[in-house]
């Protein structure tokens, strides 16, 4: 299992390097930047509707490090999509894969650009696969997520019997600890098979 994860880790790093230039930072709200995707080389960026608190004063951070102003082309709350346009040209649009074979439950590599660099995560199950156990605080720091998001996803994985949760005390402090279960490890192995097939298909294109 460790050898498979090591090979997968190297392959995923290559995918992040290849896809990174197509991931943009969108500054459209007061607190945290969001992420957008380069839709065309002519400066079109697609992001989420809910991350834009205003239609003006928008900035987009590109893969080469530059930050450029953006104008809102349109937004659709019903699909939570928004389209931005910048003056930048020659942007790296991603090579879109065929999504017909995707199913609920497939492993997803999520990319974001909260700062100047790209951040990637595979989530809770993959983190627990290479650790005997992790506390809530350790998972939160590793995945760089919020208490609420982590709690929701951990509860769903626990309901699916993919992870187990143990609550105890470390001195006087409450301690929540998670472990990957046997069904969770089997599910991850199936996910790894899907991801390796995706990597092979990408390399053969």
- Rounded to whole angstroms, the Cα distance separating 151 from 129 reads 18
15 belongs to a structural domain: no
pLDDT single digits (tens) 9-40: 677 777 788 888 999 999 988 777 888 999 99
Q: Which of 86, 108, 138 is the last residue of a domain?
A: 86
Q: Mind listing the pLDDT tens digit for each residue in 95-139?
A: 777 767 766 555 667 788 877 887 766 667 777 877 888 899 888
Domain boundary residue among 86, 101, 134? 86
Q: Is residue 33 part of a domain?
A: yes
Question: What's the total number of domains in the chain?
Answer: 2
Residue 65 lies in a domain: yes
Q: Which domain holds residue 127?
A: 122-204
CB 115 within 8 A of CB 96: no
> What is the reported pTM?
0.59
Is 96 part of a structural domain of the chain? no
Cα-based torsion angle of the residue sequence 34, 66, 82, 48 in order, rounded to the nearest 10 degrees: -10
Among 30, 65, 86, the domain boundary falls at: 86
């Amino acid at each position: 299992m460790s050898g498979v994860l090591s090979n997968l880790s190297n392959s995923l790093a290559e995918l992040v390097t290849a896809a990174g230039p197509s991931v943009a930072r969108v500054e459209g709200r007061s607190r945290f930047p969001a992420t957008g995707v380069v839709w065309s080389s002519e400066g079109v960026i697609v992001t989420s509707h809910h991350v834009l608190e205003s239609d003006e004063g928008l900035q987009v951070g590109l893969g080469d490090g530059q930050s450029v102003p953006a104008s809102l082309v349109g937004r659709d709350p019903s699909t939570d999509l928004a389209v931005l346009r910048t003056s930048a040209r020659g942007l790296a649009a991603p090579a879109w894969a065929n999504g017909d074979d995707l199913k609920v439950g497939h492993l997803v590599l999520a990319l974001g650009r909260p700062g100047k660099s790209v951040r990637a995560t595979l989530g809770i199950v993959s983190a627990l696969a290479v650790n005997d156990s992790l506390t809530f605080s350790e998972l939160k720091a590793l995945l760089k997520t919020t208490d609420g998001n982590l709690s929701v996803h951990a509860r769903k994985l626990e309901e699916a019997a993919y992870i187990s949760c143990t609550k105890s005390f470390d001195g006087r402090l409450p301690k929540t600890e998670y472990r990957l279960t046997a069904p969770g490890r089997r599910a991850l192995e199936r996910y790894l098979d899907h991801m390796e097939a995706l990597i092979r298909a990408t390399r053969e294109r």
